[in-house]
Structure 1
């Protein structure tokens, strides 16, 4: 059954959960999310393979990405850009919630890449991202906690 349209998304990196909220009530929780290759700490620089932490928004969607559906997270924000600039580095970007790589054998049946494998994105099964695609409108706030 599809969840109602969300007005807030909470990612808990340590618990490996993604929870949708509607009017302050949790309506769907996804366990076992996959993160960047270096899942601890906040993303600071391009190539650090960390998943960001903080408050952002889902600002657009890409139905034609290299992964099965993708919802863009508005990282980097002004503070992220300022910090990276002060270090003479790029903050990186292109952080999404997405499904498995296109063409992954068995992905339509729920198979997933093992472990943490993204470059900082949040990955879920293809079936889960199909539900999230319909439940999370553009402009939805998202908080990513350590």
Structure 2
């Protein structure tokens, strides 16, 4: 019987459905390592997160290990992410590109909220390990992926 339960658990989909209130905004508080999903009536969910391996300051260049700060949008989703599932953030914006170009460096990109922490890393412990992304557990990214739609604003605070 235990073998059958394990088999059925392995067949569970990473794609969850969500029929609750619309997520109208996402907020990330970097210093608190806290991701907040807001609806029209207030907070719907909160998650502890891990950030880029150099979490202080706004992302400026490719490879700096920082997580961006500012106003962006959720602009894409990746069901085949190397990190279980992921939703993309619209970094870099025009100002990010202009600043990096003025310094003669690329701004970087491919910033996501994703699951799949590396072995030994626990994002619920607010450990920073990504190259600039926002990391949650696999179960949490399944919720975020189901709840947050492309076009949702995300505000990232220091």
TM-score, reference length from structure 1? 0.88
Give yes or no for the alignment of 1:86 onto 2:102: yes
Measure how far apart 1:112 and its partner are: 3.3
Task: Tell me what 1:130 maps to.
Answer: 142
The structure whose residues are more often helix, as a share, is 2
Give yes or no for the alignment of 1:116 onto 2:131: no
Root-mean-square deviation (CA, aligned residues, Å) is 1.8
Give yes or no for the alignment of 1:16 onto 2:26: no
Distance 1:105-1:38 versus aligned 2 partners, 3 A rule:
closer
Give yes or no for the alignment of 1:144 onto 2:156: yes
TM-score, reference length from structure 2? 0.82
Measure how far apart 1:24 and its partner are: 5.0
CA contact (8 A) 1:39 1:51 kept: yes
Measure how far apart 1:144 and its partner are: 0.4
Task: Tell me what 1:66 maps to.
Answer: 82
Gaps of 5+ in 1: none
Task: Tell me what 2:91 maps to.
Answer: 75
Q: What secondary structure sits across from 1:49 in the alignment? A: coil
Larger radius of gyration: 2
User: Runs (4+) of structure 1 moved beyond 6 Å?
Assistant: none
How far apart are the structure 1 equivalents of 2:128 and 2:46? 19
How far apart are the structure 2 equivalents of 1:105 and 1:52? 25
Q: What secondary structure sits across from 1:82 in the alignment? A: helix
